[in-house]
């Protein structure tokens, strides 16, 4: 589902709706994140999370012209899953800046080693940062935008309730976890059957 201007509130309407909408989005996001160890998290996006991002951008930047709203839609719509994939923001998080800087120098390419697995199928590795390269050969970036393309079998198995696992296959950040049931239910809602 792609968002259009018709899906958005005007600045005045959003001012009235913001508190309730924000509470709805915060509750929704709780079931759309997967921790990959103590220092990495996948935050899965969808139309609701992107609507919130756009509404907040319009509010903060005081954007109200048709052209500027269309620019925001064009920037955020690509982060909404298409029915055949999951899209996530991958964040590497260390509270200490120096510790984070040192860790990132040890993990270039980590964004290409993040995977999902449905049932006992093959791991599906992320397609990373299609908007621009974020990492260099010397270090990883702390934030990445990932897409996991799932074939019809993966989608059907996920929708049927099969176990979903996620992880990182990188020597500096090795981790694997079975996705909690509530998260799996939220993520499978992003998938189409066809």
| Domains of the chain as residue ranges with CATH | 1-30+47-80 (no CATH), 31-45+82-194 (2.60.40)
Residue 132 predicted with pLDDT over 80: no
Residue 124 predicted with pLDDT over 80: yes
Strands 143-149 and 127-128: antiparallel
pLDDT at 189: 96
pLDDT at 1: 80
pLDDT at 135: 58
86 CB burial (10 A radius; 0-12, 13-18, 19+): buried
Q: Band the pLDDT of 137: cuts 50, 70, 90.
A: low
pLDDT at 7: 97
pLDDT at 129: 80
Write the pLDDT tens digit of every residue in 56-90.
Answer: 999 999 998 999 999 999 999 999 999 999 999 99
Q: Mind giving me the DSSP string for 113-182?
A: GEEEEETTS--EEPEE-SS-----SS---SEEEEEEE--HHHHHHHHTT--EEEEE--TTS-EEEEPPHH
Over residues 112-135, mean pLDDT: 87
pLDDT at 131: 64
Residue 23 predicted with pLDDT over 90: yes
Report the alpha-carbon distance of residue 146 to residue 126 in Å, rounded: 6
């Amino acid at each position: 589902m792609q968002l259009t201007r018709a899906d958005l509130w005007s600045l005045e309407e959003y001012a009235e709706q913001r508190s309730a909408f924000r509470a709805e989005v915060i509750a929704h996001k709780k079931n759309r994140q997967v921790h990959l160890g103590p220092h990495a998290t996948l935050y899965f996006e969808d139309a609701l999370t992107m609507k919130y991002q756009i509404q907040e951008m319009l509010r903060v930047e005081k954007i109200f012209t048709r052209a500027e709203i269309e620019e925001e839609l064009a920037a955020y719509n690509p982060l909404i899953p298409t029915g055949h994939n999951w899209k996530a923001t991958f964040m590497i998080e260390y509270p200490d800046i120096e510790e984070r800087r040192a860790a990132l120098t040890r993990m270039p390419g980590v964004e290409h080693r993040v995977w999902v697995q449905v049932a006992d199928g093959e791991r599906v590795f992320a397609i990373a940062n299609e908007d621009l390269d974020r990492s260099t050969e010397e270090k990883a970036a702390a934030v990445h935008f990932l897409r996991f393309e799932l074939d019809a079998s993966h989608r059907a198995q996920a929708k049927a309730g099969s176990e979903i696992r996620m992880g990182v296959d990188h020597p500096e950040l090795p981790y694997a976890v079975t996705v909690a049931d509530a998260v799996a239910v939220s993520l499978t809602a992003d998938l189409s059957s066809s």
